Amino acid sequence: MSQELFVVNNVWMMVSIFLVFIMHLGFASLESGLTRSKNTVNILFKNSLIPPLGLLTYALWGFSLMYPGEAFTGGLFGFAGFGIPLPEGGETSAYNEGYTFWTDFLFQGMFAATAATIVSGAVAERVKLGSFIFFSLLFVGICYPIVGMWKWGGGFLNTLETPFYDFAGSTIVHSLGGWGALAGILLLGPRLGKYVGGKIKPIQGHSMPLATIGVFILWLGWFGFNGGSVLSADPGAVSRVLVMTSLAAAAGAVGALFASLALFKSKDLSMMLNGILAGLVGITAGADQMGVVDSVVIGLVAGGLVVLGVMLFDKLRLDDPVGALSVHLICGIWGTLAVGLFGNLAGFDQVLSQLIGIGVVGTFSFAFAFALWFAIRAIAGIRVSEIEEVEGLDMHEHKMHAYPDINAPAYEVTRLENGYASAAETKKKTTVTH
């Protein structure tokens, strides 16, 4: 490979890193928009802390867990040592034809935090901040790299007679995060007032403009998420992946819109936004293998599934404020299975391998997350108090309002309605006492 081509490939990979990085802003905007204003600072705090924690843990040990080289046995587990072990000639094409060692580390590191970000939205508005941070550290630092190694690090899923296929992470990133979210929701329980008297009470988010901005930022970021997974700037491969990614997203929006009209007689914006994400998640496992019709079908089905998923989880009393289970878990499974049904890899053997991968990753990641959430709950608790949940996590966890002119008066009214003194009264009583 010429030096010029190497530089071009490496530059595209770095651009993809920038795009994946900006996805965290998309998640922060989407999650805060779909939740109540009194918890906005809390949502933004979590989504601002997850990328730093994910990158640091990935540098300290995650990268070596995910890419142990020859260190692992049986394709199940391996560890190449703490830190980022730079191979000889790692800063040149001796490491990889398409990009440098450092570029590879940073691209993979940007993926790592996404799994915890998925969990963040699903457990929003009632999870303890410290407990969530500790969960994220171990989930991103241990569970994700082990599962990633099983496929991308040369592990056993990649050595099946018909190798399991997950191009950019419908299962390894998205459904893994979905399983972690499901475990958290089961142990946390629903938000106060969500399911009352056997009925489902919708709890509206506070900013649909913010949620819409978040989705379009995520769509933009997905060009790096999927396009960068080509691992080169190959014109044909990259452009094909970007087209199929966009077609699936577009079809996901249409599928969710039609499903909402059919089931609710409603042009539901939140469902359509999640339909876009559903199409993106669905195509992620096989974006490099699909044609135009395949991608549109995958997106349409994903858009319909996300609406049905929201209905299903509500009927099961599993409270998911942002629809993360429907988008990332259900559509992650669908997209992974679709690799064996459509495109260049379609066939019975591939379907079987995809089912094995879905089952193994789902079992391990759910068991890991459930055990971790359970242990944290037993030691420190995972749910905030009723007072904190009613009044909002922004003031109780962070001592600030996202929108002071709106939230501050509402906070005082809420305290009085629940039998607590206002800030002014408390100050007055304290002054008199002393």
267-323: pLDDT as tens digits: 999 999 999 999 999 999 999 999 999 999 999 999 999 999 999 999 999 999 999
Instruction: Report CA-CA distances (Å) from 236 to 167, 240, 243, 286.
Output: 16, 6, 11, 16
Average pLDDT of the chain, as a whole number: 91
**What number of other Cβ atoms are within 10 A of residue 111's Cβ?**
24
Q: What's the full length of the chain, in residues?
A: 434
- Give the separation between CA 137 and CA 49, rounded to whole angstroms: 11
Percentage of the chain lying above the pLDDT 70 cut: 91
394 within some domain: no
Does residue 408 lie in a domain region? no
Domain limits for position 147: 3-379
Torsion over CA of 135, 137, 142 and 143, rounded to 10 degrees?
Answer: 40
Q: Cα–Cα distance between 326 and 302 in angstroms, integer?
A: 9
Q: How many domains does the chain have?
A: 1
Please check the confidence at residue 405 and state whether its pLDDT lies above 80: no
Alpha-carbon distance of 101 to 315, in angstroms, equals 48
Q: How far is CA 405 from CA 214, 276, 313, 416, in A?
A: 24, 33, 35, 18
The neighbour count for residue 199, using CB atoms within 10 Å, is 7
Residue 409 falls within a domain, yes or no? no
d(CA 255, CA 275): 7
For residue 125, being part of any structural domain is answered with: yes
**How far, in whole angstroms, is CA 98 from its chain's centroid?**
27
pLDDT at position 432 is: 31
What's residue 73's pLDDT?
73
Average pLDDT over every residue of 21-39? 96
**pLDDT given at position 99:** 87
The structure tokens 């072990």 sit at 85
Around 5, how many Cα atoms within 13 Å sit in the side-chain half-sphere? 10
Tell me the two tokens of residue 202. Answer: 């919708």
Q: What CATH number is given to the structural domain containing 287?
A: 1.10.3430.10
**CA-to-CA distance for 150 and 173, rounded, in angstroms?**
13
- Does residue 116 contact residue 35 with C-beta atoms inside 8 Å? no
The predicted pLDDT at position 346 comes to 96
The secondary structure of residue 141, as a DSSP letter, is I
Per-residue model confidence (pLDDT) at position 113? 82
Which tokens in the block code for residue 93? 């094409």
Residue 413 lies in a domain: no
Asked if residue 430 belongs to a domain, the reply is no
User: How many other CB atoms sit within 10 Å of the CB of residue 305?
Assistant: 24
With vertex at residue 241, the alpha carbon angle to CA 288 and CA 361, rounded to the nearest 5 degrees, is 50
- 323 within 8 A of 306, measured Cβ to Cβ: yes
Domain assignment of residue 391, yes or no: no
Q: Is residue 260 part of a domain?
A: yes
11: pLDDT confidence band, cut at 50, 70 and 90? Answer: very high
Whether pLDDT at 262 is above 60: yes
Six-digit token pair at 116?
């915890």
